[in-house]
Amino acid sequence: MIGRRCRNLDEDEAARAIFGLTCVNDVTALDLLTEDPSFPQWARAKGCDSFGPVGPAIATDLDWRTLTVSVALNGRVRQDYALSDMILPPARIVSLISREMTLEPGDLIACGTSLGALPMRPGMVVEVTIPGIGTLRNTMAE
């Protein structure tokens, strides 16, 4: 989560602009994404009502390099990975995005996911857990 208005940051400035970390269930409607194979609709596929829940808290004193993310679907762990394995670190992501747009306090940037994401169906319970932040629990609706 971004903590101050910023634009065109280098990585050191971007690291200081990050207010804190939280959990995100970065939902994607795969049917919308692949509806037209010549033009994947990423914004549309991630922008439906109720997509992208966040929480349960914002942690401001954690070192992201020491954290792990676990994602369980109906109680079965499907993803469990170290954030230190990210292709792009958060400060670099913020720096790159800030070149294209002004970031505002409270803006949230989802930093991606790892292998093991599976389609979700109505009634399934998804739990995203980051130690030190907590567990974001959602039941998928129709």
- Summarised one tens digit per residue, pLDDT across range 94-107 is 999 999 999 999 99
Distance CA 23, CA 63 (A): 14
Mean pLDDT of 50-59: 95
**What does pTM read for this prediction?**
0.89
Mean pLDDT of 17-40: 90
Domain that holds residue 35: 11-139
In-domain check, residue 2: no
> What does DSSP assign to residue 135?
E
CATH code where residue 75 lies: 3.90.850.10
Q: Give percent above pLDDT 90 in the chain.
A: 71
Q: Which of 30, 53, 51, 52 is nearest to 42 (CA)?
A: 30
> pLDDT averaged over the chain?
93
In-domain check, residue 75: yes
Residue keyed to tokens 């989802």: 110
Q: Give percent above pLDDT 70 in the chain.
A: 100
Instruction: Provide the pLDDT for residue 31.
Output: 86
Radius of gyration for the alpha carbons in the chain, expressed in angstroms and rounded: 16
Angle at 111 between CA 93 and CA 113, to 5 degrees: 140
In-domain check, residue 104: yes
In-domain check, residue 135: yes
Give the count of domains, the chain.
1
In-domain check, residue 4: no
> What does DSSP assign to residue 62?
-
pLDDT interval class at 30 (50, 70, 90): confident
Q: Is 142 exposed, middle or buried (0-12, 13-18, 19+ CB in 10 A)?
A: exposed
